[in-house]
Amino acid sequence: MTTEKIQSSIANPAPLGLLGFGMTTVLLNLHNADIIPLSIVILSMGVALGGSAQIIAGIMEFLKNNVFGAIAFTAYGFFWISLIVIWTNPTANIAAADDKSMGFYLLLWGIFSALMFICTLKHNRGIQFVFLTLTILFFMLAIGDFAGSIAIKHAAGWVGILCGASAIYNSFAQIINNEYGKVILPL
């Protein structure tokens, strides 16, 4: 089978990746906004939909030769898995994450997200909004950890809820527009 046939035979994986990202981001940020506690619910969603579904979508994007989608979905999928490992600290002889370490972890993801946002300037406004709010979210969370400020983390939670909701909208806009063969939900 030629490369073109493989690329054209694979359905658009972006809605799955966006849904995985969006639903997990909303759920985690309900915790960051102090609406729900951190629990196994968030960890399970992080591994299953945030991590695994995004990695699958990313691999499918590689097969479709979409570098942006491939990097975005696989990287953020592995973000969720790494975050779960940080929270659960399965290796007893390694110190748990402290605020300074988490600040740098989140800062690096903020820088990555900012660079990915620049890439979205070639894409639709919906994806631009997802990456803009994600960049703001990571920088706010990093600042909250560096400053030890719960108020900044709570405010970041609301940005995260908006970011996740916008990713869910993007996912369903792509699905609905594809199903009806026309733009029903604008991006």
DSSP sequence for 129-164: HHHHHHHHHHHHHHHHHHHT-HHHHHHHHHHHHHHH
Q: What share of the chain is helix, strand, coil (3-state, %, to 5)?
A: 80, 0, 20
Instruction: Please report the pLDDT score of residue 5 as a whole number.
Output: 63
57 pLDDT band, cuts 50/70/90, is very high
Instruction: Please report the pLDDT score of residue 182 as a whole number.
Output: 96
Instruction: Please report the pLDDT score of residue 91 as a whole number.
Output: 78
2 pLDDT band, cuts 50/70/90, is low
Q: pTM above 0.85?
A: yes
